[in-house]
């Protein structure tokens, strides 16, 4: 088995129902639940970080006059809503799961305590990390990098909605954008590629954790990634 413990990073947009323009799609939640069940059956320990772009975009703060810190806290609350939705989908599929939030809200989630999270992961529970880092001005990408390091994960699986990996430019606007099969953290920083925010990349640049970017639209891709198939893009530490 290639991985012992992984962190699955999901964007909030990946949960959206595009047809009805609802913030959550049952079909997409079921895809995630089936993928998680497959990963668990393979013996890999799994934790999840989810964004909140389907509920709240921090960029709206300037438009409607909300303080940036306040806007970030609003986004953190959105991640708890998404985390609870994923938790519900997993529990309905017979998967033991819980939400741990960096912002205390004991009625709906456990407080994030890294030693307990590690212990619960080792027991086979799926831990959904919500509430971001608990601090404004840090993205859920940074949260994913921090939690992956704290949980001693082997990899971060960045499951994208309709994006099969990293490109030299946005393939939707630039038809000449080149697909990148493998790249280092230092190269991501030097080239300014918008894979994840630079704070998150900087946290991982000297780590043995790898990032695998792939398209979550095909359920089989989750299985391929866990089995070590070379799909998507790999980002890893460079040789020194």
Question: Which of 135, 128, 140 lies closest to 51, judged by CA?
Answer: 140
| In the chain, domain spans | 5-236
The pLDDT of residue 240: 53
Identify the sign of the CA torsion 192, 197, 202, 206.
negative
The pLDDT of residue 1: 52
Q: Report in angstroms the alpha-carbon separations of 12 from 70, 75, 109, 164, 216.
A: 19, 10, 18, 17, 13
Q: Do 16 and 6 touch, CB atoms closer than 8 A?
A: no
The pTM assigned to this predicted structure is 0.94
Tokens of 103: 């912002």
The HSE-up count of residue 108 (CA atoms within 13 Å, CB side) is 18
Tens-binned pLDDT, residue by residue, of the chain (240 aa)? 589 999 999 999 989 998 898 999 999 999 999 999 999 999 999 999 999 999 998 778 888 899 999 999 999 999 999 999 999 999 999 999 999 999 999 999 999 999 999 999 999 999 999 999 999 999 999 999 999 999 999 999 998 877 889 999 888 888 899 999 999 999 999 998 888 889 999 999 999 999 999 998 777 888 888 888 888 999 999 875
Beta strands in 32-154 (DSSP E): 45-50, 97-101, 110-111, 126-130
The pLDDT of residue 161: 78
Tokens of 151: 């949980």
Q: Do 213 and 165 touch, CB atoms closer than 8 A?
A: yes
The pLDDT of residue 76: 96
The CATH architecture of the domain made up of 5-236 is 3-Layer(aba) Sandwich (3.40)
The pLDDT of residue 131: 97
Running DSSP on this structure, what letter comes out for residue 92?
A: H
């Amino acid at each position: 088995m290639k991985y012992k413990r992984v962190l699955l990073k999901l964007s909030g947009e990946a949960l959206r129902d595009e047809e009805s323009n609802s913030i959550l799609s049952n079909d997409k939640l079921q895809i995630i639940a089936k993928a998680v069940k497959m990963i668990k059956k393979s013996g890999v320990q799994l934790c999840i970080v989810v964004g909140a772009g389907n509920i709240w975009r921090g960029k709206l703060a300037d438009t409607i006059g909300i303080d940036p810190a306040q806007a970030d806290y609003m986004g953190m609350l959105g991640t708890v809503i998404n985390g609870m939705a994923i938790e519900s989908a997993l529990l309905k599929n017979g998967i033991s799961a819980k939400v741990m939030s960096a912002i205390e809200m004991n009625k709906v989630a456990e407080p994030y305590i890294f030693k307990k999270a590690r212990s619960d992961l080792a027991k086979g529970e799926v831990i959904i990390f919500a509430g971001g880092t608990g601090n404004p001005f840090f993205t859920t990408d940074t949260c994913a990098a921090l939690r992956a390091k704290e949980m001693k994960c082997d990899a971060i699986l960045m499951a994208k909605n309709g994006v099969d990996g990293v490109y030299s430019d946005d393939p939707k606007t630039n038809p000449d954008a080149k697909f990148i099969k493998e790249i280092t953290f230092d190269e991501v920083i030097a080239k300014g590629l918008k894979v994840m925010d630079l704070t998150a990349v900087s946290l991982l640049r000297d780590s043995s954790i790898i990032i695998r970017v792939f398209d979550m639209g095909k359920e089989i891709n989750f299985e391929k990634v866990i089995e070590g198939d070379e799909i998507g893009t790999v980002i890893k530490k460079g040789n020194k």
